[in-house]
């Protein structure tokens, strides 16, 4: 109603971690008290909403009145009273707590298509979703469209899988639809195992109904009677909201028997994953649902031919499915209006690393990396120099600063030696060592390999061992070539996508940063000053005031000295954590290069 005030409080995992629940109850308490109600004189309702992207500013609170929106950042429970008094009752927003310019630039170049309702409504309320047009697409599909119409519409939209491989979704559905057989399945892949990725979690937490609606439309299009959401158990809030949403969808007749009196039956089961990265691979995921060890199998047959329990099965990523109702509601033309020739629509990325504004962003395909990093991301923290962007998580690669004009789409990122992947985007600056970055990702893939095939099981271990010796000052001439040969072996011969892409971080860093490898191996130094074997911390006596600050923070007791006298770092005890370096106010602690041991083969 006009005059009513809606208060949206971010309660995604980020919002809750920042204290969203306490802020929520502070608002509820305040609004429930009689004298405040009397002074506000308007109908106010506080809602929890899902992730809005800028988690670093949580708790974010929107106050919406007459279509106008004021957004507060960094809200704590004790700030609520003043907002209620001055803004809700007095009509004067608390200026100093409102979001600043960078909040708006963060959103400036974003397009909220699949995230349109995420962060704008209560994800635990089906009415909120329905009120924003939710389930209209499903209703229209089930009552007035033939399954093939839906598939054609999806093909026209150009939607491609958001789970990593970018396979055209309409085509995948058509394959499963054309397979003979009455029993078919649709699975939503919500395993999201890439380190640092939280796109799918945020979507399920913020708009679970869109995922359910997408699955319902998909089930109708391919002829499936049952669906599964395979979601990792480490996502308790997402699981909880999904379960609530499934219950509400059943109550409202969007799941179960005879959906909306159309005679179509469909229901969805939730299957919890135990946090193995490889279980995100579709055939391993199917094995896991079947109760077997999550190990991939050789394709063909593809899941669309022989999937769950040997039946034709469509597996789609969360974001892929959540796009479907919007495409069916707003039309393929609307969707295809975003993006490039071959990559249509938008993509959600988890923007992290050495960036000013990190968070969840949605951008149209075709935007440049520069726009993401400098416009949306606000540039590099501390105005240091950008070195590279790592995209696609452990399966992806690093794109150097010189290629920042690269368009973000499937083809361009691939030709730059990386991938769109599921949407991880880590920004690296001059203080990052690229060999160390490669090593970091190999540590991950090596321990997440299922062990089934030899190149991945043994090969990733050997890659990691070579990277480890390079970063610890024991690199040997020829190591780069050895890495390249082994990477090629693993890429070409591994059974599944995990192994086939695991060498990408190595290959792309060698492609663009071979000088850093050479510096480690030949010159025995780490240009970024990251690899511990190549650095030492020392105290410059003339600058040291003897304040004891470094002595107190040193976790290994390596710093000796008395008050008001210059301190000294005992090198044998020092673990090179850099705590003293970060603590010293007088720049008396210096990081310097040491030369590694010389090793020959």
Partner 1 sequence: MEKPINSISLVIDGKQISVPSGTTILDAAKQVGITIPALCYHPKVSRSGACRVCIVEVGGTLVTACTTPVSGGMEVITNSPYVENMRRDLIDLILSDHPYDCMVCQKTGECELQELAYKYSIRNPVFRGERRQYAQKDGNPFIDRDMEKCILCGRCVKICDEVQGVGAIDFAYKGFWAKVCPPFEQDLNCEFCGQCVMVCPTGALIGKNWVARGRYWNMREVESTCPYCGVGCTLSLHVKENEIVRVTAKEGRGVNDGLLCVKGRFGYQFVSSPDRLKTPLIRRRKGGDLEPATWDEALGVVASRLKRVKEQYGPDAIAGLSSARCTTEDNYLFQKFMRAAVGTNNVDHCARL
Ligand X SMILES: Cc1cc2nc3c(=O)[nH]c(=O)nc-3n(C[C@H](O)[C@H](O)[C@H](O)COP(=O)(O)O)c2cc1C
Rounded-to-integer distance, Cα 192 and Cα 49, Å:
21
Q: Which of 15, 123, 158, 193 binds ligand X (CB under 6 A)?
A: 193
Answer yes or no whether residue 174 interacts with ligand X by CB under 6 A: no
Q: Tell the smallest beta-carbon distance from residue 469 to ligand X (Å).
A: 26
Residue 494 binds ligand X (CB under 6 A): no
Give the C-alpha separation, 393 to 421, whole Å: 7
Among 276, 321, 351, 355, binds partner 1 (CB under 8 A): 276
Q: Which lies closer to partner 1 via its Cβ, residue 271 or residue 476?
A: 476
Contacts of residue 377, defined as CB under 8 A and 6 or more positions apart, other chains included, come to: 106, 351, 355, 356, 357, 358, 427
Task: Map the footprint of partner 1 across residues 295-334, applying CB under 8 A.
Answer: 295, 297-298, 300
Contact flag: residue 465 with partner 1 (CB under 8 A):
yes
- Rounded Cα distance between 305 and 235, Å, is 30
What is 337-400 written as a DSSP string?
TSB-SSSBSEEEEEEEESBSS-EEEEEETT-BHHIIIIIIS-SBGGG--EEEEEESGGG-EEEE
Task: Tell which one of 165, 454, 530, 548 touches ligand X (CB under 6 A).
Answer: 165
486 binds, among ligand X, partner 1, none (CB under 5 to 8 A by kind): partner 1
Q: Is the peptide bond before 213 cis (omega within 30 degrees of 0)?
A: no
Residue labelled with tokens 């640092």: 196
Q: Minimum distance between the CB of residue 585 and ligand X, rounded to whole angstroms?
A: 44
**Residue 492 C-beta: closest distance to partner 1, Å:** 5
Q: Which of 414, 461, 577, 593 is the binder for partner 1 (CB under 8 A)?
A: 461
Q: Phi then psi for 39, rounded to 5 degrees?
A: -75, -35
221 binds ligand X (CB under 6 A): no
Residue 485 contact among partner 1, ligand X, none, beta carbon within 5 to 8 Å by kind: partner 1
- Of 141, 189, 346, 487, which lies in the binding site for ligand X, with binding defined by CB under 6 A? 189
157 binds ligand X per the rule CB under 6 A: no
Distance of CA 91 to the CA centre of its chain: 38
> In this structure, what are the phi and psi dihedrals at residue 397, rounded to the nearest 5 degrees?
-140, 180
Least Å distance, CB 199 to partner 1, is 25
Least separation in angstroms between CB 512 and ligand X: 24
Alpha-carbon distance of 118 to 55, in angstroms, equals 13
Residue 193 site contact among ligand X, partner 1, none (CB < 5 to 8 Å, cut-off depends on kind): ligand X
DSSP assignment, residue 259? G
Say whether residue 122 binds ligand X (CB under 6 A).
no
Q: Which partner from the list ligand X, partner 1, none does 438 bind, CB cut-off 5 to 8 Å by kind? A: none
Cα 107 to chain centroid distance, Å, stands at: 17
Residues 459-462: contacts with CB under 8 Å, at least 24 apart: 459/486, 459/489, 459/490, 459/494, 459/499, 459/502, 460/490, 460/499, 460/502, 462/486
- List helix spans (H) across 113-163: 126-131, 136-144, 147-157
Give which of partner 1, ligand X, none residue 498 binds (C-beta under 5 to 8 Å, depending on kind). Answer: ligand X
Nearer to ligand X by Cβ, of 464 and 470: the residue is 464
Q: Give whichever of 149 and 485 is closer to partner 1, judged by the CB atom.
A: 485
Binding of residue 451 to partner 1 (CB under 8 A) = yes
Residue of 498, 531, 580, 588 that binds ligand X (CB under 6 A): 498
Distance CA 410, CA 219 (A): 27
Distances (CA, A) of 479 to 48, 96, 396, 454, 551: 54, 56, 22, 21, 39
Interacting residue with partner 1 among 13, 460, 501, 504 (CB under 8 A): 460
Residue 165 CB, nearest approach to ligand X (Å): 4
Binding of residue 395 to partner 1 (CB under 8 A): no
**Residue 335 CA to chain centroid, in angstroms?**
22
Binds ligand X (CB under 6 A): choice among 175, 278, 327, 539: 278
Q: Which residue ranges make up the site for ligand X (CB under 6 A)?
A: 161-165, 167, 189, 191-193, 277-278, 280-282, 315-317, 320, 422, 496-498
Q: Which residue ranges make up the site for partner 1 (CB under 8 A)?
A: 276, 293, 295, 297-298, 300, 446-455, 457-462, 465, 482, 485-486, 489, 492-495
């Amino acid at each position: 109603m006009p005059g009513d005030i809606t208060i949206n409080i971010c309660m995604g995992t980020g919002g809750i971690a920042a204290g969203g629940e306490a802020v929520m109850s502070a608002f509820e308490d305040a609004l429930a008290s009689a004298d405040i109600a009397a002074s506000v004189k308007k109908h106010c309702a506080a809602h929890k909403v899902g992730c809005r992207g800028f988690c670093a500013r949580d708790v974010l609170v929107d106050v919406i009145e007459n279509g106008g929106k004021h957004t507060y950042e960094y809200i704590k429970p004790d700030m609520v009273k003043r907002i209620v008094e001055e803004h809700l009752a007095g009509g004067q927003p608390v200026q100093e707590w409102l979001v600043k310019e960078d909040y708006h630039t963060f959103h400036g170049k974003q397009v909220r298509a699949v995230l349109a309702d995420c962060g704008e409504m209560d994800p635990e309320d089906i009415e909120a979703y329905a009120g924003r047009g939710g389930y209209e697409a499903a209703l229209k599909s089930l009552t007035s469209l033939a399954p093939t119409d839906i598939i054609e519409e999806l093909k026209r939209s150009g939607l491609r899988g958001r789970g990593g491989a970018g396979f055209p979704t309409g085509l995948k559905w058509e394959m499963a639809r054309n397979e003979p057989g009455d029993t078919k399945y649709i699975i939503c892949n919500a395993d999201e195992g890439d380190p640092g990725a939280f796109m799918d979690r945020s979507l399920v937490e913020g708009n679970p109904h869109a995922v359910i609606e997408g699955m319902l439309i998909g089930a109708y299009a391919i002829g499936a009677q049952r669906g599964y959401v395979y979601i990792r158990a480490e996502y308790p809030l997402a699981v909880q909201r999904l379960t609530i949403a499934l219950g509400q969808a059943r109550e409202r007749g969007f799941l179960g028997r005879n959906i909306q009196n159309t005679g179509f039956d469909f229901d969805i089961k939730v299957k919890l994953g135990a946090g193995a990265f490889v279980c995100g691979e579709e055939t391993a995921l199917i094995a896991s649902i079947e109760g077997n060890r999550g190990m991939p199998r050789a394709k063909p047959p593809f899941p669309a031919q022989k999937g769950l329990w040997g039946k034709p099965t469509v597996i789609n990523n969360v974001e892929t499915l959540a796009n479907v109702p919007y495409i069916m509601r707003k039309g393929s033309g609307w969707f295809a209006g975003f993006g490039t020739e071959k990559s249509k629509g938008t993509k959600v990325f988890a923007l992290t690393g050495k960036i000013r504004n990190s968070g969840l962003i949605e951008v149209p395909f075709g935007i440049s990396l520069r726009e993401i990093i400098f416009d949306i991301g606000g540039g590099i923290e501390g105005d240091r120099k950008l070195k590279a962007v790592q995209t696609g998580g452990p399966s992806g690669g690093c794109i150097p600063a010189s290629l920042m004009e690269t368009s973000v789409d499937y083809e361009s990122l691939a030709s730059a030696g990386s991938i769109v992947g599921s949407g991880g985007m880590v920004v690296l600056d001059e203080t990052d060592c690229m060999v160390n970055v490669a090593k970091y990702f190999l540590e991950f893939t090596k321990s997440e390999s299922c062990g089934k095939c030899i190149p991945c099981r043994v090969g990733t271990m050997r890659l990691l061992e070579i990277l480890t010796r390079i970063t610890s000052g024991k690199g040997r001439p020829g190591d780069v070539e050895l890495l390249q040969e082994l990477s090629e072996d693993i890429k070409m011969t591994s059974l599944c996508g995990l192994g086939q892409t695991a060498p990408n971080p190595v290959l792309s860093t060698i492609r663009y940063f071979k000088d850093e490898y050479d510096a480690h191996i030949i010159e025995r130094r780490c240009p970024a000053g990251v690899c511990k074997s190549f650095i030492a911390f020392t105290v410059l006596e003339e600058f040291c005031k003897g304040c004891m600050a470094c002595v107190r923070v040193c976790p290994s007791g390596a710093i000796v000295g008395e008050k008001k006298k210059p301190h000294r770092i005992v090198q044998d005890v020092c673990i090179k954590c850099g705590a003293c370096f970060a603590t010293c106010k007088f720049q008396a602690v210096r990081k310097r290069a040491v030369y590694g041991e010389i090793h020959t083969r």
